[in-house]
């Protein structure tokens, strides 16, 4: 298949491209400058353009089988008015531009896989969350709702639309693990807040496999939770990470300290969600890293 990747130079995008190329697929990535094309895996075609604006890249995207949009400003930052605006706009505008790239009359069925997040469900304590669970409230829920609504317009043009609701993705060189490792490596790790909050996670390799999995299965559309079937509490996460790194984890971080440090974004770490990948399990997706222990063992430095 021919894939068009938006956000291909990011943490997830680079690994996804390498996985797709390894499986024999053709990949074109949208980059903001010719210099950034040098960061792409060997064998990747590239086209320069701004994912938030119309451009020649849209004609290129229209000729592919699958458009994957991973564009979005990171959310683990202080949610100032400017940051909130950028978090929303980078997701909504990139999705809008991706949808506009899809022809009204297609000579082949395009699949659009648009990133989203489990933040759409809000925070519901110990309740088990599947794709059938209702939307929640709050800033993240508002962002994911607008994000998804833009993507669903592609369905009106005859495209198959998959809303990839991502949990915390762990892998080498970025993502949630990169944020946690430094403190644990120096023996300064510990639970966040009460530690009872759930942590929906997924190994980066399994995420790349899951994206290809849904791309190849024409019967899958709509929301798909992309996370491990075994979410853990923050206490379990802390103990497992400390054990795998052979470091102590005795310095808990009070919730108010985290809120002072990163403001509203702290609710992601302090509330959490018990999310289950219902669609992937129903469709028979085989996780290579179903447990956190196995995933961290693979990723340990």
CB atoms within 10 A of CB 119: 25
d(CA 273, CA 167): 9
Question: Under 8 Å CB-to-CB from 71, ≥6 apart: which residues?
Answer: 6, 7, 51, 52, 90, 91, 94, 95, 115
Per-residue pLDDT of the chain (301 residues; tens, 9 = 90+): 999 999 999 999 999 999 999 999 999 999 999 999 988 999 999 999 999 999 999 999 999 999 999 999 988 888 889 999 999 999 999 999 999 999 987 667 899 999 999 999 998 889 999 999 999 999 999 999 999 999 999 999 999 999 999 999 999 887 777 676 666 665 556 677 888 889 999 999 999 999 999 999 999 999 999 999 999 998 888 888 778 777 766 556 656 555 655 566 667 777 889 999 999 999 999 999 999 999 999 987 6
Q: Give pLDDT, residue 127.
A: 93
Pairing of strands 111-117, 66-69: parallel
What are the DSSP calls for 85-132, one per residue?
HHHHHHHHHHHHHHHHHS-SS-SS--EEEEEEEGGGG---TT-EE-TT
Q: Give pLDDT, residue 278.
A: 97
Q: Give pLDDT, residue 66.
A: 98
Greatest Cα-to-Cα distance within the chain, rounded to the nearest angstrom = 60
Domain 2-169+202-227+275-288: CATH superfamily, name plus number: NAD(P)-binding Rossmann-like Domain (3.40.50.720)
Instruction: Return the domain boundaries, the chain.
Output: 2-169+202-227+275-288
Q: Where are the alpha helices (DSSP H) in the chain?
A: 11-22, 34-37, 57-61, 81-101, 139-156, 175-185, 204-216, 234-245, 255-262, 266-271, 278-282, 292-299
């Amino acid at each position: 298949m021919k894939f068009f990747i938006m956000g291909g130079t990011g943490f997830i995008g680079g690994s996804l491209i390498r996985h797709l190329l390894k499986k024999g697929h053709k990949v074109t990535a949208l980059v903001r400058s010719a210099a950034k094309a040098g960061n792409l895996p060997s064998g990747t075609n590239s086209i320069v353009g701004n994912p938030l604006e119309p451009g020649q890249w849209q004609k290129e995207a229209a000729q592919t089988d699958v458009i994957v949009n991973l564009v979005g400003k990171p959310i683990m930052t202080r949610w100032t008015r400017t940051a909130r605006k950028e978090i929303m706009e980078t997701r909504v505008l990139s999705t809008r531009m991706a949808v506009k790239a899809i022809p009204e009359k297609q000579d082949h069925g395009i699949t659009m896989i648009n990133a989203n997040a489990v933040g759409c469900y809000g925070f519901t304590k110990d309740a088990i969350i599947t794709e059938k669970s209702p939307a929640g409230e709050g800033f993240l829920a508002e962002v994911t709702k607008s994000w998804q609504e833009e993507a669903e317009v592609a369905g009106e043009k005859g495209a198959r639309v998959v809303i990839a609701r991502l949990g915390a993705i762990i892998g080498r060189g970025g993502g949630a693990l990169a944020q946690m490792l430094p403190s644990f490596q120096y023996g300064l790790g510990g639970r966040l807040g009460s530690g009872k909050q759930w942590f929906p996670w997924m190994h980066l390799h399994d995420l790349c496999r899951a994206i290809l999995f849904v791309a190849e299965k024409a019967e899958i559309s709509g929301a798909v939770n992309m996370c491990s079937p075994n979410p853990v509490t923050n206490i379990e996460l802390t103990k497992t990470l400390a054990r795998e790194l052979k470091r102590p984890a005795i310095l808990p971080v009070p919730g108010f300290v985290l809120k002072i440090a990163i403001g509203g974004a702290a609710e992601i770490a302090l509330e959490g969600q018990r999310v289950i990948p219902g669609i992937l399990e129903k469709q028979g997706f085989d996780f290579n890293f179903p447990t956190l222990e196995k995933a961290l063992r693979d990723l340990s430095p």
